[in-house]
A and B are shown apart, each in its own frame.
Chain A
């Protein structure tokens, strides 16, 4: 067995760290992230508050942990939702071909062209800003990405001889898609999903920063950044911590996705 690539290992470690902290926050945080303590605001790091307190006296570590939870959830749900719909559309387009494929792909192009931000603002205008709306907006932009990736990979698989053999055996297109196409594009889709997690985390942070995502008392790195902006000269560390968290999470997922792609690269896989 070849040794695992470095980017995979580093990515996996970072991802496990972030996901672990997020999971942990479901059962334990050092303090309640929403408890205000105005008198204790802008506190220095102490054994009680490991990174100190923010402008309203809330424990920073607890906030970061709760934010991690929100980010992970948003990213997971959005990518799974958008990914499922996208992959289904891509597989449909590839299997049917002809004008159906053309229409699906042009719709995907439209989706690409439509800015996620605008969609989020529209949703916020109609339904009010919330994490759910952030999820929907991010899911929406993922649909065309997965549709394209799935269709391109599926098109390649359709030309493989074992698929031809399945047609010769009398299988219909649905059965072939389920039995042969889907398992063989899984690797590519998973790699794409990992990379889209990274993008989704960043997108959620951006939306929350603009006030379109997480609303108080819900915690989000983006929202923390936004609040910290006006306090830049008073307490710069309030911006550094959430920013650092975003970097770690995005870097982790990005490296993991890269590493997965290296591992599943068919040329390298053959050498194993």
Chain B
């Protein structure tokens, strides 16, 4: 059973009307995109702003429903489930957001924040909080501090701790390292790879930075204007790109002295 399958995903937004008699223009943010994610593997999604990759993340997390197409998580159609059933499934797929400064409630201690997914499941936190902290390379004693007492890289580790505390099968990382310095970025990427090896999770890694995506993914999806331009094993695409756009991304990322 494939962990995560997306088939023919299309998401359109209706824009405000520009003319009173003509129908409102439609923005197709995601246009007929399909992909698979397997357990223990990482799919990288790369694209610039406006490519639809953020919308794809929201569809994958079932924050929004697609206009066409479906998503199967372990063979459940997540958009066909009712709200209650969907919430029950949530512990199995979790998300890491881009901004380590805004993804944690500033008024709550971090220990409380990372235990939130457990509270939603109505299971007690117990030692899981300490365990999660240790797994991401922080100290259990940090649980009593507030987000502003940590650096960006540490906050992102806390966000990862929150995402793995329910022992999910899939992690969706939406620009998870984009706001971090280069050396911190490397630490977080290594952490994700370590967690994937130990927990066997699948990862959907979204970024605008091709170099970052390349260092972590097994398969690759290149998006532009909502369409999937290339999809397949990362080594194939990066060593032998077929689209001019992919080539330009490689050029922009690969300028090494």
Contact = CB atoms under 8 A, between A and B. Distances in A.
A169 B117 contact: yes
Contacts, number: 63
- Among B99, B106, B120, chain A packs the most CB atoms within 10 A around the CB of B120
B105 A171 contact: no
Contact of A170 (B90, B97, B106): B90
Nearest to A160: B102
Given A161-B99, A164-B63, A165-B95, A170 B105 contact: no
A167 B119 contact: no
Interface in B100-117: 102-108, 113, 116-117
B119 A171 contact: yes
Given A161-B103, A165-B103, A184-B107, A170 B61 contact: no
A170 B103 contact: no
Interface string B63-78: 1000000000000000
B212 to A, nearest CB: 20
Nearest to A269: B106
B91 A170 contact: yes
Contact of A161 (B61, B90, B97, B107): B97
Interface in A160-209: 160-162, 164-172, 175, 179-180, 183-184
Given A171-B116, A171-B119, A164 B97 contact: yes
Contact of A165 (B91, B97, B166): B97
Contacts of B104: 162, 165
A207 B34 CA distance: 68
Interface in B195-249: none
Nearest to B58: A164
A171 B118 CA distance: 10
B17 interface: no
- Among A169, A179, A180, A183, chain B packs the most CB atoms within 10 A around the CB of A169
B162 interface: yes
B99 A170 contact: no
Contacts of A180: 105
Contacts of A168: 61, 63, 90, 94-95, 117
Given A168-B94, A169-B94, A161 B102 contact: yes
B139 interface: no
- Among B63, B94, B116, chain A packs the most CB atoms within 10 A around the CB of B116
Interface residues of A, number: 17
A169 B90 contact: yes
A180 B104 CA distance: 10
B162 A169 contact: yes
B158 to A, nearest CB: 11
B145 interface: no
Contacts of A166: 105, 116, 120
Contacts of A160: 102
Nearest to A163: B105
B102 A162 contact: yes
A168 B90 CA distance: 7
A168 B113 CA distance: 12
A61 B96 CA distance: 64
Given A161-B97, A165-B162, A166-B116, A172 B103 contact: no
Contacts of A183: 105, 107-108
Interface in B104-156: 104-108, 113, 116-117, 119-121
A209 to B, nearest CB: 43
A161 B102 CA distance: 6
Q: Nearest 8 pairs between A and B by C-beta?
A: A170-B90, A170-B120, A169-B117, A161-B103, A162-B105, A161-B102, A170-B87, A171-B120
Given A162-B105, A162-B106, 12 more contacts: A164-B97, A165-B104, A168-B95, A169-B94, A170-B87, A170-B88, A170-B90, A170-B121, A171-B116, A175-B119, A183-B108, A184-B105
9 contacts: A162-B105, A166-B105, A168-B90, A169-B116, A170-B88, A170-B117, A171-B116, A179-B116, A180-B105
